[in-house]
Structure 1
Amino acid sequence: MKLHWSPKSPYVRKVMVVAHETGLVERLERVRSVAAMLEPNDRLMRDNPLSKIPTLVLDDGTTLFDSVVICEYLNDLAGASLFPEAGAAKWRALRWHAFGDGLLDALILWRNERDRPDASRSERLMNAFERKTIASLHWLDEEAQALQSAPFGIGHVALGCALGYLDFRFDSLGWRTHAPRLAGWGEAVHARPSFASTVPTLAG
């Protein structure tokens, strides 16, 4: 299987964490692919016309996207249990998964706005993203005990990657001061080999 990959993307990190957790990482051929918003990647677009990563190309040529679908595919391929099949555990995991992805969406939009030239940057939009992020951290802090008690699953993967992206791109926010209980949970999650092996980097 071929994975269009970047060491900077939190959505790619989700896939790589799942690949490590399911024992499938050695089956992935990683192809370094740049997916800049303003510069579509012609090579990537041959597999995904949206020019987005992660994109997974199966051995039969079928392409899968986005991270939600790829993670579930790898889970099923390995016969793993990161996606609970039914009941309250399923909806709790999917709820956390959706929240982690939603937080990442907001953070990426915030970073894109932050990186615009001063003259075209919207301070109102920047403030809105900051408010949403801090409110999300407070909400997650209330979820910390439930996260710690629940079996490790896809919700933990998504939220762990969101916190890792905060460390990578928003270190100055000091998110741990807004969510001290979540910080303890995050430290434990990031100590897992799957997370320790996928720390985002500007190199590569």
Structure 2
Amino acid sequence: LTKRWEALADGIIDALVAVFLERKRPAAQQSQEWIDRQMGKIDRGLAALSRDLGERPWCHGDGYSLADIAVGCCLAYLDFRFPDIAWKDAYPNLLALQQKLETRPSFVDTCPPAV
């Protein structure tokens, strides 16, 4: 199950990167259809993460694991590159996990600098 969490988080990040890169292209060359398709993957991926997490404190098992690291990195990248995506109200359980993870030294030490 840990690998499933990791794969889902990686898939969301892949879709986020695809949107980020598409938006860097000249406006006339951008495909809104492609962006919308990737955004759908992101929305469905977040919904799956939230549904699978439920009310548990950790993604898999009774403690912190690679699954939590993967999801935490996914949510941090989402906030870093796409602050306009309002996922926190829709998925309060993912927000609670993110807030817990952000206090861990490994997440604090690797947080991108504020610009």
Shorter-chain TM-score: what band? Answer: 0.7 to 0.9
Equivalent position amino acid for 2:97 in 1 = W
**What SS does the aligned partner of 1:173 have?**
coil
Equivalent position amino acid for 2:112 in 1 = P
1:179 aligns with 2:62: no
Residues 71-118 of structure 1: CA deviation (Å, up to 9, x unaligned): xxxxxxxxxxxxxxxxxxxxx111111111111111111110112111
TM-score, with length taken from structure 1: 0.51
- Structure 1: stretches of 5+ with no match in the other structure: 1-91
**What SS does the aligned partner of 1:177 have?**
coil
Q: Which has the higher strand share?
A: 1
Q: Which has the higher contact order (CA 8 A, sep 6+)?
A: 2
Equivalent position amino acid for 1:185 in 2 = L
Q: 1:110 aligns with which of 12, 19, 37?
A: 19
The corresponding residue for 2:101 is 189
Question: Using the alignment, how far apart are the partners of 1:176 and 1:102 within structure 2?
Answer: 19
C-alpha contact (below 8 Å) 1:166/1:175 kept by paired residues: no
The runs of at least 4 consecutive aligned structure 1 residues that moved more than 4 Å come to none
TM-score, with length taken from structure 2: 0.87
What does 1:143-182 correspond to in 2, within 5 Å? 143-144=52-53, 145-146=55-56, 148=58, 150=61, 151-182=63-94
Q: Which has the higher helix share?
A: 2
Question: Using the alignment, how far apart are the partners of 1:115 and 1:201 within structure 2?
Answer: 22
- Structure 2: stretches of 5+ with no match in the other structure: none
CA shift at 1:146, angstroms? 4.1
* Percent of pairs with identical residues: 32
CA shift at 1:191, angstroms? 1.4
C-alpha contact (below 8 Å) 2:15/2:39 kept by paired residues: no
Structure with greater Cα Rg? 1
RMSD: 1.7
Residues matched between the structures, number:
112
